[in-house]
A and B are shown apart, each in its own frame.
Chain A
Amino acid sequence: MSQTQIPTVPLRTPEVVMRLSRLGSFHQSRLSFMRILIRRMRREEWQFSRPEFTIDRRGVGHAVYCAHTPDRTYSLIAFAHDLPANQRSDRVIAQAWDSTFTLFDGVPNEDDIERLRQNIPLQEAGRVSGRELSVSRANRSVRLWEEVVACLAKGVQPEAEAIAKVGYLMRTTAVYGSGKLGAADREMIADRPEFAAPFQVEMLSVFLTRTYVRDLVQHMANMRGGETSAVLDPKIARSMGIGNSTGLGMAPFLLNHPKLINNWVSARETAIARVRAIRTAKSKDITSFLELFNRSMLSVDLWQSEHPVQVGKLELLRNDMNALSGYINAYDFGASQPWDSLYLWAEDALGQDAQECLASLMLEPYGELVDDLELQMSDSDAAMFSIDGTMRVAELRSQLAQTYDWALSIDWTQKEYSARAWYVSEEKLEPRLGERFEEPIADYEQPLAPGRDAAALHQALQDWSDDATLAEFLLAHPEHRHTARRAQIVARAPYSEIRDNTIGSDLMPIDMLRCKLSFFGATHFDPRSDRWVRICLFGNAPYPEELHSHGGDDWPYPPMDVSA
């Protein structure tokens, strides 16, 4: 039996991919968690209902939104509050919010809602049960909220330009899942197919939150304007996503879940390699790519930020996208392995942001070829936690030299390379980053500097014979246990470790945030500082009632007539 040989392209190596500057240039793709959720909702024809919406003139009350899968119902319970402006903060240390939410497993009865009314508005100070899958909150974009309410109340539509400037009416400031505050652990629900992919609970919660926010702004406008109020144009509504304001909590996540991060990155890298290996591009695939490329150019144009670093990145990205556009116009897609050649050109000619944008775009026409990779993005391999103590010191040494070569060549006694320390504040346990040599924080340092720690482990191994076992070494040196475990994980999961210094004076934590958020499917990263970023989720996505009638899987790319 003869088989046609399938061409292969090697995966991009971890040394190329797992650098902070590249992780900080990632773009959403078909494998982003919002995309996975919406594909499933469509495929399984989920139904939606709003059994309760009891909110008064001041905007205080509650609402329930249900998502009905073929087998189960999940309900977002939203509590609406009247928040004084001086209490509006996106920080973890905030104590009150415009709206607070929980995703409930099933349909809540009156007792459930009363129990949750006592707890959800308190967020971290409240308690929930195993029936609750997530806890979250959101604050208004004050200016846009007022503008939209005022316009609709006057009977006119808000200006698309004003909307595009912000992109959302409310932004979530934390979405807790996986057992936080007493909620259900992921393990409780991981065997349900709808939650098999990562962060599906959180994405569903945000998807329903967006619908609530649209309904609430309409409700407030109707209260103010009465019968002559306008109904928000569905096209404008669709252009709005849910904002998200994210601080340092997300950066430790990347380091604390090495196997999970490996699975995300490895799925996307495998997808990229599969597409680059395609020998001949069909004309329908080329057409689809070109259309999304143009819409992607528009998305980059709409992307706003005032942060100097991001302003610089955006300028480079726009220039690169223009260069790419010019190159594509003259490009011969009929050549053999056209995607590979295109990517290789970009790798040489463009910055990392545009390279990653192109890499994600190339996947778009090939859902049938790459979407199955979503099944590999979770982490259920508990055995990974155990250390193989039979490993010999010589083997560990060479493993360290291979994976952490960049770290072994750093002089960690130099202040600039260990200038920072990650710590947790006693204030609501907010994760923070401080200056090790200027603040009294070193004693509280979290283990978030794998490079430095690997170098220390390598040093400690110097005195041990090649034949000694890791079990013996760790018995004498339990302080290296954490790092030995990481070194063994990265040997099996090559994309699990960031190949850069995470405590240097030049660290930009937003690079780590962007990596994670891009896998959520976020767009329009807008850093507010080096460790704080706002983004938009579900912008241009269909609303529940449009899921089965409007648009395709390419919803993250704005329609060409958005500004028309």
Chain B
Amino acid sequence: MSNSLNEIDALVKRATRGAGLSWGMAEEAGKAVRWLASHQFSGATALANLLDEIDGREMRELAPASLEGSWAAPKGMLCPLASGAALNDCASKLVEGAAIEMTNVCQPMLMAPFAAWAALQIGAVVEVAWQDMCLQSDGYSLWVGDPKGQVGATSADALSCRRVTGRSEYLKPPAHRRQVDATTWARLNVYAQRTYAPATEASRMLGAGAGVSDND
């Protein structure tokens, strides 16, 4: 049976937090995977792969070292959640003719929702491209050009985001359901479990503040 987008969002948020990211970043991750799921992409798998890579690492090792010039991590790969959030925070930089370039991006698919929300902020269509593929969105709908099946690439040496002109009639609207495969769900659950406090008798008795009889 398929999943609702809300339950995908909720699990991803918890899993991302479980891997050590901040709550604010975890919120973005939940919404990002939800957005991808609504466009029938396996964002949940991309995120599970990402969490395996960045689990327990400091975000400053993975985030753009600077927002000037081409965005790159201090060393190694760039986290798409960190660079995606940064892209959103400075969406206004996406003026005509000025692309934001990034290098060595892990799980580049996860950049797509952030580019889409940037589009929403600036009221234009934004394109994100790596290798031979490109995605365009107005924030809501999406167009995908992926002749070589690279949307699920584990990394992109070079990725660019830019504002594009043109009409948006060819963009495809999102759907409301998405099946997340059981393996991915279980992988995310392992991370999410870390956010749940272990069950103890004291917690059971006190934590919810019930304990009086319900047979009345």
Do B25 and A187 touch across chains, with their CB atoms under 8 A apart?
Answer: no
Question: 8 Å CB contacts to A: which residues of B1-56?
Answer: 1-7, 21-25, 27-28, 31
Residue of A nearest to B8 (CB): A179
Interface centre among B67, B91, B177, B210 (most CB of A within 10 A): B210
A369 contacts the other chain (CB 8 A): no
In-complex Cβ contact of A528 among B7, B31, B195, B210 (8 A): B210
In-complex Cβ contact of B176 among A141, A178, A188, A475 (8 A): A188
Interface centre among B86, B176, B202, B208 (most CB of A within 10 A): B208
Do A531 and B208 touch across chains, with their CB atoms under 8 A apart?
Answer: yes
Of the candidate stretches A309-317, A394-402, A480-488, A547-555, the one touching chain B is A480-488
A85 contacts the other chain (CB 8 A): yes
B2 contact set on A, CB distance < 8 A: 129-130, 182
B216 contacts the other chain (CB 8 A): yes
Interface centre among A179, A388, A485 (most CB of B within 10 A): A179
Do B209 and A89 touch across chains, with their CB atoms under 8 A apart?
Answer: no
Do B203 and A387 touch across chains, with their CB atoms under 8 A apart?
Answer: no
Do B5 and A439 touch across chains, with their CB atoms under 8 A apart?
Answer: no
A484 contact set on B, CB distance < 8 A: 24
Residue of B nearest to A482 (CB): B24
Of the candidate stretches B58-66, B126-134, B146-154, B162-170, the one touching chain A is B58-66
B98 contacts the other chain (CB 8 A): no
Do B89 and A470 touch across chains, with their CB atoms under 8 A apart?
Answer: yes
Do B197 and A187 touch across chains, with their CB atoms under 8 A apart?
Answer: no
Do B1 and A432 touch across chains, with their CB atoms under 8 A apart?
Answer: no
With A93-B204, A390-B90, A439-B202 as known contacts, state yes or no: A179 contacts B7, CB within 8 Å.
yes
A142 contacts the other chain (CB 8 A): yes
Do B216 and A142 touch across chains, with their CB atoms under 8 A apart?
Answer: yes
With A182-B3, A187-B5, A531-B209 as known contacts, state yes or no: A389 contacts B88, CB within 8 Å.
yes
B182 contacts the other chain (CB 8 A): no
In-complex Cβ contact of B196 among A85, A183, A425, A481 (8 A): A425
Query: What's the minimum C-beta distance from B92 to chain A, rounded to whole angstroms?
Result: 6
Query: What's the minimum C-beta distance from B6 to chain A, rounded to whole angstroms?
Result: 3
A478 contact set on B, CB distance < 8 A: 21-22, 24-25, 59, 63, 82, 85
**Dominant SS among interface residues on chain A:** mixed
Do A185 and B90 touch across chains, with their CB atoms under 8 A apart?
Answer: no
B121 contacts the other chain (CB 8 A): yes
CA distance A482 to B85 in the complex (A): 12
With A187-B5, A472-B67, A475-B67 as known contacts, state yes or no: A92 contacts B208, CB within 8 Å.
yes
B69 contact set on A, CB distance < 8 A: none
Residue of B nearest to A93 (CB): B204
A102 contacts the other chain (CB 8 A): no
CA distance A156 to B54 in the complex (A): 70
CA distance A431 to B82 in the complex (A): 29
Do A432 and B177 touch across chains, with their CB atoms under 8 A apart?
Answer: no
In-complex Cβ contact of B208 among A91, A186, A388 (8 A): A91
Interface centre among B4, B85, B92, B195 (most CB of A within 10 A): B4
CA distance A444 to B6 in the complex (A): 22
Do B210 and A532 touch across chains, with their CB atoms under 8 A apart?
Answer: yes
Residue of B nearest to A441 (CB): B197
Would you give the 0/1 interface string for B74-97, flagging 1 where the beta carbon is closer than 8 Å to chain A?
000000001001101111100000
A502 contacts the other chain (CB 8 A): no
A425 contact set on B, CB distance < 8 A: 196-197, 199, 203-204, 207
Do A179 and B4 touch across chains, with their CB atoms under 8 A apart?
Answer: yes
Do A532 and B5 touch across chains, with their CB atoms under 8 A apart?
Answer: no
Question: 8 Å CB contacts to B: which residues of A246-295?
Answer: 247-248
Question: 8 Å CB contacts to B: which residues of A164-188?
Answer: 178-188
A530 contacts the other chain (CB 8 A): yes
A143 contacts the other chain (CB 8 A): yes
In-complex Cβ contact of B24 among A245, A432, A481 (8 A): A481
A245 contact set on B, CB distance < 8 A: 214
A429 contacts the other chain (CB 8 A): yes
A332 contacts the other chain (CB 8 A): no
A247 contact set on B, CB distance < 8 A: 208-210
Do A426 and B197 touch across chains, with their CB atoms under 8 A apart?
Answer: yes
B91 contact set on A, CB distance < 8 A: 386, 389
CA distance A549 to B120 in the complex (A): 49
Do B176 and A185 touch across chains, with their CB atoms under 8 A apart?
Answer: yes
A90 contacts the other chain (CB 8 A): yes
CA distance A180 to B7 in the complex (A): 6
In-complex Cβ contact of B1 among A127, A142, A429, A479 (8 A): A127
CA distance A248 to B193 in the complex (A): 20
With A130-B4, A142-B215, A383-B121 as known contacts, state yes or no: A426 contacts B210, CB within 8 Å.
no
Residue of B nearest to A447 (CB): B23
Query: What's the minimum C-beta distance from A441 to chain B, rounded to whole angstroms?
Result: 5
B117 contacts the other chain (CB 8 A): yes
Query: What's the minimum C-beta distance from A186 to chain B, rounded to whole angstroms?
Result: 8
A472 contact set on B, CB distance < 8 A: 67
Do A528 and B5 touch across chains, with their CB atoms under 8 A apart?
Answer: no
Would you give the 0/1 interface string for A178-215, flagging 1 where the beta carbon is closer than 8 Å to chain B?
11111111111000000000000000000000000000
Pairs A–B under 8 Å by Cβ, sample size 14: A142-B216, A248-B208, A388-B89, A425-B197, A432-B203, A433-B209, A439-B202, A447-B23, A470-B89, A474-B89, A478-B82, A479-B24, A481-B28, A531-B209
